Structure 1
Amino acid sequence: MNNDIIWGYIAVGLIAIVALSLLIIKKWRFIKAAEAEKQSQEKIKQQKREDAIESIKIIALCMIEEQVETSEGCIRIKVLLDHVAPELHDQAPFSIFSVMYDATEHMPTHGARKSADKALIRKLDIERFELERVHKDAIIEASKAIRDYDF
């Protein structure tokens, strides 16, 4: 074989090696960036979970100390538990949060409450206060349990 042909094959081989090396480096950087993004998303997700758990514990403490209406606290805890530990909805004593949520779900809140008929709001408030009275002991017990729960 002629030396020129051999050197030609060597040149083509080197070009292929360089091209494939550049492709590998590009893919490796892409994978590293994707892994970094995934870790960042996981960190954000974990932080949101920790924030929700802290919120649950603060709301529970506020209900124990009667700084927030128990119906409102139950609704807020139930919604947060949906994201943090939905399996607790069916476990005693935590199920009272879902019971109160379900019992007050039909009641208007925020803007809908402001625009609703005042007589209807008074009637619903009486219903809500009665629910709070009937379930107060269970709500306080569940609030103490969730405050101390290890998520």
Structure 2
Amino acid sequence: MSPALVWSLLALALLIIAGLAAYALWLWRRVWHQQRRQTAAEQRHHEQLGGDLRILAGSLLDEQLPLIEGAIRIKVLMDNYDPQLSQDPRCAVFHQLYAATAHVPTHGDWKALDRRERQRYRSQFSELELQHKAAVRAASRWLLNDALIKNISP
């Protein structure tokens, strides 16, 4: 092989390597950009859930939201917001009410119930509210005043 051919092949190989390196760098930059976007989206979602939890807890305390419905919604949001916070013993009442009402039909199934069945469920709701009202209010107050303030970032 002539030296000119060797140098030409070497130069071609270096160009190919440089091109592949540039392409790899471009791909990595896309990955890093996507990771930053995903992190920002997760942060926005977390902040939105925290805001929703504040609204629900405040609405429960102001009695603008039915106790059972509010407790269920708070439990579900907390599970998505911060599973560790959701497992805090001070939030156990939300889990208890969720479990106690899990069998109750919702939406169209609720509307399909006859009047007596709906009344039976409403009676159960009233009993649960009387039993757990103080605990739900205390847990909601704790969420607003302590937990959600300390848990602002993921």
TM-score for both structures, normalised by structure 2: 0.91
State whether structure 2 residue 64 is matched by structure 1 residue 64.
no
Q: Which has the higher contact order (CA 8 A, sep 6+)?
A: 2
Q: Percent identity?
A: 26
Q: Residue 52 of structure 1 contacts residue 80 of structure 1 at CA under 8 Å; is this kept in 2? A: yes
Corresponding residue number in structure 2 for 1:39 = 36
Shift of 1:23: 0.5
Corresponding residue number in structure 1 for 2:129 = 132
State whether structure 2 residue 3 is matched by structure 1 residue 6.
yes
Q: Which secondary structure state, in structure 2, belongs to the residue aligned with residue 94 of structure 1?
A: helix
What stretches of structure 1 of length at least 5 have no aligned partner? none
Shift of 1:144: 0.4
Corresponding residue number in structure 2 for 1:23 = 20
What is the one-letter code of the residue matched to 1:68? L
What stretches of structure 2 of length at least 5 have no aligned partner? none
Structure 1 distance, partners of 2:83, 2:114, is 35
State whether structure 2 residue 115 is matched by structure 1 residue 118.
yes
Q: When the two structures are aligned, how many residues end up with a matched partner?
A: 148
Shift of 1:87: 2.4
Q: Which secondary structure state, in structure 2, belongs to the residue aligned with residue 108 of structure 1?
A: coil
Corresponding residue number in structure 2 for 1:76 = 73
Structure 1 distance, partners of 2:89, 2:10, is 71
Q: What is the root-mean-square deviation in Å for CA atoms of aligned residues? A: 1.3
What is the one-letter code of the residue matched to 1:118? R
Structure possessing the higher radius of gyration over alpha carbons: 1
